[in-house]
Structure 1
Amino acid sequence: MKLVFIYGPVASGKLTIARELGRLTGLAVFHNHLVVDAVASVFPFGTPQFVQLRERMWLDMMREAAQAKRSLIFTFAPEPSVAEGFPQRAVAAVEAAGGSTAFVQLRVPVAEQERRLVAPGRTEFGKLRSLELLRQMQAQFAASERDMPQAQVAVDTSAVQPPAAARAIADALGLPEI
């Protein structure tokens, strides 16, 4: 079982590339906002209950997938409300079931990130769309991303289209295509 852990800043193309990679490889896509939206329907974003339950649900899904030998792609935006050490706990949960984790970092220049931020497709999961809030939180997002494990693959999403990015990731990680 392999967990492909795709991370990057807001509007870097994580879900778009994860979906392309899923189409290419047949791996399931576990978009972090599925859990964020479910938990936020009961607990306000960032509250202790929200943070704890969100992480528990993320880790439970990864653990169950690893135990079932079902590889998956997980999208993640490092941000201040995530408890320190979460990526390492994800690796441990997967490894405990005999799986492995590959980290993929997506990068995007600020000007392109800001252009994408207001795209209509970002409303699907209630994603951040406020340019003002993004700019206010830019330093916090950057600090959170510095705490991520070393990526096996890094992609500048302003330089390649999602299908090419997915193919590059699959090739670099040795993922079989369907």
Structure 2
Amino acid sequence: MKLIILFGPQAVGKMTVGQHLAAKTDLKLFHNHMSIDFVSQFFDYGTPSGKRLVGMIRHEIFEEVSKSDLKGLIFTYVWAFDLQSDWDYIEKVSNLFESRGGTVYLVELEADIEERKKRNITENRLIHKPTKRDVKWSEEELIKTYQKHRLNSLPEEITKQNYMRINNMGLEADQVAELIKERFEL
């Protein structure tokens, strides 16, 4: 069992890279908006009910996948490095898979904010993430989160063995997926 946690700021390309990586491997993609957009039909993600339900859905998916005979899972996540709760969440999810004999791989993507603003309105993103279709609001959230939180790690901050960081500016998602596949022999 393999768990790939593909993380980075909003609109850096996590879902698209995850789609390509899933196509190149037998891993299933669970991008973060699969739970967010489902719950947002009932409760805004920013509300206590929305956060609780998203967390519950993710936990149940992780539980079932971690004890299944699937080859593994790709999960996308926006990790705020200045929030201990985000560090704790990554540790909790990692521990769940590792406690069942799985291997966790951390893959960090980075791109500058101007590139991410362009990616924020791509067709693929808007098709698969209904809550991002209000592009004015989405860009404002992207900028606000960028200003409020540190969304990429500092050098040597992540010390896990199965970790790689990719600046994916100027790279196609398929190229990034191939780099991940080769590095971790997926």
TM-score range, shorter chain: 0.7 to 0.9
Q: Which segment drifts farther, 62-71 or 151-160?
A: 151-160
Q: Cα deviation per residue 1:9-46 (whole Å; 9 max; x = unaligned)?
A: 11111111111111111211111111111122222221
* Mean Cα deviation higher: 129-138 or 30-39: 129-138
- The alignment's C-alpha RMSD in Å is 2.5
Q: Quick check: 87-96 or 72-81, which moved more?
A: 72-81
What is aligned with 2:79? Answer: 78
Query: Partner residue of 1:38?
Result: 38
Residue 101 of structure 1 corresponds to which residue in structure 2? 104
TM-score under structure 1 length normalisation: 0.85
Q: Among 143, 148, 164, which residue is 1:140 paired with?
A: 148
Alignment of 1:41-80 (within 5 A): 41-70=41-70, 71-78=72-79
Shift of 1:76: 1.3
Distance in 1 between residues matched to 2:159 and 2:118, nearest whole Å: 27
1:83 CA drift (Å): 4.8
Out of 115-124 and 4-13, give the one that drifted further.
115-124
SS at match of 1:101: strand
**Structure 2: gaps (5+ residues):** none
**Counterpart residue type for residue 93 of structure 1:** L
SS in 1 for 2:29: strand
User: Aligned partner of 1:113: which letter?
Assistant: R
Counterpart amino acid of residue 76 in structure 1: Y
For residue 170 of structure 1, give the secondary structure of its aligned residue in structure 2: helix
Mapped partners of 1:174, 1:92: distance in 2: 21
Structure 1 counterpart of 2:172: 161
Percent pairwise identity: 24
Return the TM-score normalized by structure 2. Answer: 0.82
Contact between 1:8 and 1:106, CA under 8 Å: does it hold in 2?
yes
Q: Look up the equivalent residue of 1:24 and give its one-letter code.
A: K
Q: CA deviation at 1:121?
A: 3.0
SS of the residue corresponding to residue 12 of structure 2 reads coil
- Paired residue total: 174
Deviations 1:139-172 (A, max 9, x none): 2342x55599557111111132111111110111
State yes or no: 1:171 paired with 2:179: no
Where does the alignment leave 5 or more consecutive residues of structure 1 unmatched? none
Structure 2 distance, partners of 1:135, 1:47, is 20
1:122 maps onto 2:130 in alignment: no
SS at structure 2 position matched to 1:29? strand
* Pair 54,81 (structure 1): closer, same or farther in 2 beyond 3 Å: farther
| Residue pair 1:21, 1:170 contacting (<8 A) in 2 also | yes
